[in-house]
Structure 1
Amino acid sequence: MSNTLTTQNESRPDGGHYSVLVVGGGQAGLSISYFLQQANIDHLVFEKHTVTHTWRSQRWDAFCLVTPNWQCALPGHPYSGSDPHGFMKKDEIVAYLDGFIAKVDAPVLEHTAVQRVKRAADGRYSVSTSQGEFTADHVVVASGGYHTPIVPRMAERLPAHIVQLQSSEYRNPQALPDGAVLVVGSGQSGAQIAEDLHLAGKKVYLAVGEAPRCARFYRGRDVVDWLADMRYYEMPVEQHPLREGVRDNTNHYVTGRDGGRDIDLRRFAAEGMELYGRLDDLQAGALQFAPNLQVNLDDADDTYNRINLSIDRFIEKSGIDAPPGAPYEPVWRPDGERTALDLAASGIASIVWCIGFTPDFNWLDVPVFSGRGYPAHTRGVTPLSGLYFVGLPWLHTWGSGRFSGVARDAQFIVDAIRAACAQPVASVETMAA
């Protein structure tokens, strides 16, 4: 099989052979296209919906970035607005992405689902899609790691009159029926959606999970600015204390809303939000919760203070003149653990499930996955020649799944593709031998 790369502008029929096929038209897939075009490598991007679909259809109305705008650094398209230390709202994020889409002008087949990817005996990849069959020398999986919403089976036993939404379906408080709302999960989405409902005057019950939290501002600056100076965002996964285990961590909850602030669940509780521990079951008309609210709140605060302490040490070591700081002290503590809540008496009319997503790579018929369903790779390069991943959380650094780090990852992958194209392609039989 030839490894000669044809030019980007050469006309190619649908269903033909490409040097590279990219699965996913979000920021990761478009970043790959950006660098492939710079390298004059022919390719095609498949997108199941429309490019950057998730940002447009799976975010609530009040959604905004939780990292400052200056961290938006897609390839060739850095943030150029007037508020680098602000936090873009949903419509501003979409406008930023629209500018990137226009700049990249990627060759994309939208509304095209990839159904199966296999590696043939000659080393090529066969890619079956809803628009036909394709082949490629290289396949880049850029579909992210958040595919299937997690909703527990106990949801099936809830009364039919209770409206149930997954976090990707939530839009605003006005779209929910009158009555109280149960938010399940306190990661970034859960904490921010609970706040959105609380600010709208809704009665909110929140099942608090094990998500950590961090300060928005500390000692005169955004915590993200401090961590950037401390080079935390440059740390590769293999140097992180948790190593690959960090990929399983829940994101810290904080918000960029109204210019940015902490999210303090204890303060919400003091203002009338009702906090419980982890939701476990439904029995005899009562929701059952684990008795772990106090430990979950304490652990989140410990993380908050630990991050701030690391900033204190950096300031001292660097001799920086900064305003004084102090540890967070709880503004509210639960008066014991409540492990049951009568569903009817609570007035709960809707539930928003905010307990995350699971990856779904069942369409990838390739031997690169661990027993936990995660692909084996080093900076996105898998052990299987010609197969790559990009856009996964902590693929290489903290920013790998974000606007801040995907450009570096995409450049690395395209460099690997260029290097591979200079070598003979190994057939499956050769690899087995």
Structure 2
Amino acid sequence: MTDEITKIDTLVVGAGQAGVAMSEHLTRLGIPHLVLEKNRIAEAWISCRWDSLVANGPAWHDRFPGMEFKDTGPDGFVPKDQVAEYFADYADKFNAPIRTGIEVKKVERNLGRAGFRVETSEGVIEALRVVAATGPFQRPVIPPIAPQQSSLHQIHSANYHNPQQLPEGGVLVVGAGSSGVQIADELQRAGKKVYLSVGPHDRPPRAYRNRDFCWWLGVLGLWDVAASQPGREHVTIAVSGARGGHTVDFRRLANQGVNLVGLTKDFQNDVVTFQSDLSDNVNRGDENYLSLLDAADAYIARNGLELPEEPEARHFIADPACMTHPTLQLDLVAAGVTSIIWATGYVADYSWLKVNAFDENNKPKHQRGVSSEAGVYFLGLPWLSRRGSTFIWGVWHDAKFIADQIAIQRQYSEYRAADSGSLK
């Protein structure tokens, strides 16, 4: 950029899966735009994920419609570095106008004229429209219960890469969604003593009756559910594509050697207290699992499909001792625990977006990504339009809708009456 102010129709902030998808659809519609990324394309996949991570959905499903993954079969689970490479290659395919290494510092609406003033690390841009495509994984969250004065090695899952980076000793993993359960499994297999704090969760089968759960959610219409159930907005999903993909089973994890505990309550010096909800959380996860099996069986019967029966999928092994006699307090020093990994999620950070597009809780106000502030759009957020909105394929479809809305607004802006006296 130069010292002169750059002017553009639409500015897209972020070049992860959301920004690349947005750029494709804007390009298709011939809408002039620019995508700014403060790091590299798909940087979060490169540097904010652990080394062995693979996509949680199979390659045939977790991709954009216009390109398949290289070097991974349709039923395989793509390694994270290949996912990042995929987005860079996809952007190259249509010559996406992406500028990397440029940070957007502030966006403000112009006064007395259309559009927004955008301050970046390399100058000022004026844009008629702004798409916030930074996604939901912006700022890692470690809850305030974390011990402040402690010799424990504490990191968020965003900063975990492999077992070798941790000091000698056991590990407490707090959070048993997809990240927490996979990290706990990897650490235990590497020889670490592991405690896994399990809260409320959904636990779908990896596959059932010769179909991946992604397929089941599709044919059952569950990807298109428009809103999460009240009280379950923050319930995590325990699913894994690791080692070729498998159903997460907390009882089997316990038998493998992972010490399961309930939701982490608080810390007093070196003693951590857990809620007495471990069995309830695991059992409710089982209910979620069985409900999908029931829906799948009903779909098969209703449609006369010939898919192999799988009665063993409904058999659970006996509750392990950690469930029948749960640990409610743990002296970390006595247990030899030297590290805590907080797999406790993220919050969005829109401190750079100084517009009237947020509610009293600083959450984006929008309808399918079209915000309450004219000219501002959000993309990549959970439940933006449906359950599938944060997934690779889901964000592509959300981006298409937003691009179409931008095109409609451009048509209104470009309207000129043929005869100024023709409208009465």
Question: What is the TM-score with the length of structure 1 in the denominator?
Answer: 0.89
- Flag structure 2 segments of 5+ consecutive residues without an equivalent: 415-424
Q: Residue 19 of structure 1 aligns to a residue in which SS? A: strand
Give the structure 1 partner of residue 401 of structure 2.
412
Aligned match of 1:344: 333
CA distance in 2, matches of 1:382, 1:159: 43
Deviates more, 1:174-183 or 1:97-106: 97-106
Q: Over residues 312-359 of structure 1, what are the superposed CA-to-partner deviations in whole Å (9 max), with x where a residue is unaligned?
A: 111111111222234242432412332110111010111111010111
- Post-superposition Cα deviations, 1:352-390, rounded to whole Å, max 9, x if no partner, equal 110101111122111121233221212111232211111
Residues 54 and 193 of structure 1: is their aligned pair in 2 closer, same or farther, counting only changes over 3 Å? same
Match of 2:211 in 1: 221
* Offset of residue 82 of structure 1: 5.5
Cα pair distance change 1:16/1:396, threshold 3 Å: same
- The amino acid of 1:149's aligned partner reads P
CA contact (8 A) 2:59 2:73 kept: yes
Q: List aligned pairs for 1:293-372, cutoff 5 A.
A: 293-326=278-311, 327-333=314-320, 334-372=323-361
Whether the aligned pair in 2 keeps the contact of 1:270 and 1:332 (CA below 8 Å) is no
1:271 Cα deviation after fit: 2.5
Identical positions, percent: 36
Superposed CA offset, 1:66-100 (max 9, x none): 11101133253244655111111223323322321
Whether the 8 Å contact between 1:227 and 1:311 is mirrored in structure 2 is no
Which of 246, 267, 277 in structure 2 is aligned with 1:261?
246
For the residue of structure 2 that corresponds to 1:67, the secondary structure is: coil
Deviations along 1:249-271, whole A, 9 cap, x unmatched? 43421211121111112111122
For 1:109-124, list aligned pairs within 5 A.
Answer: 109-121=99-111, 122-124=113-115
Q: How many residues align?
A: 410
Q: 1:181 to 1:82 in 2, by over 3 A?
A: closer
Q: CA deviation at 1:156?
A: 4.3
Secondary structure in 1 aligned to 2:413?
A: coil
8 Å CA contact retained: 2:177, 2:239: no
Distance 1:355 1:193, change over 3 A: same
Q: Does 1:403 align with 2:392?
A: yes
CA contact (8 A) 1:30 1:104 kept: no
Looking at structure 2, the residues matched to 273 and 405 of structure 1 have their Cα atoms a distance apart, in angstroms, of 34
In structure 2, give the amino acid aligned to 1:287.
V
Find 2:76's aligned residue among 67, 70, 86. Answer: 86
For 2:264 and 2:397, how far apart are their aligned partners in 1? 39
**2:412 match: secondary structure:** coil
The SS at the match of 2:81 is helix
Q: Could you tell me which residue of structure 2 aligns to residue 105 of structure 1?
A: 95
AA aligned opposite 2:12 = V
Q: 1:12, 1:70 → 2: CA distance? A: 43
State the shift of 1:221 in Å.
Answer: 2.0
- Verify the 8 A CA contact 1:34 1:75 in the aligned structure 2: no
**Residue 163 of structure 1 contacts residue 351 of structure 1 at CA under 8 Å; is this kept in 2?**
yes
Q: Which residue of 1 aligns with 2:419?
A: none
Q: Partners of 2:149 and 2:185 in 1: how far apart?
A: 24
Following TM superposition, the consecutive aligned residue runs of length 4 or more in structure 1 with deviations greater than 6 angstroms are 11-14
1:33 and 1:124 map into 2 onto residues whose CA distance is 19
Per-residue displacement from partner, 1:170-218 (whole Å, max 9, x unpaired)? 1111221111111010011001101111221211011111122111121
- Structure 2 counterparts to residues 26-425 of structure 1, below 5 A: 26-74=16-64, 76-79=66-69, 83-121=73-111, 122-160=113-151, 162-233=152-223, 235-237=224-226, 240=227, 242=229, 248-326=233-311, 327-333=314-320, 334-424=323-413
Task: Tell me how far apart the structure 2 counterparts of residues 349 and 284 of structure 1 sit (CA, whole Å).
Answer: 13
CA spacing shift, 1:55–1:241, aligned 2, 3 Å: closer
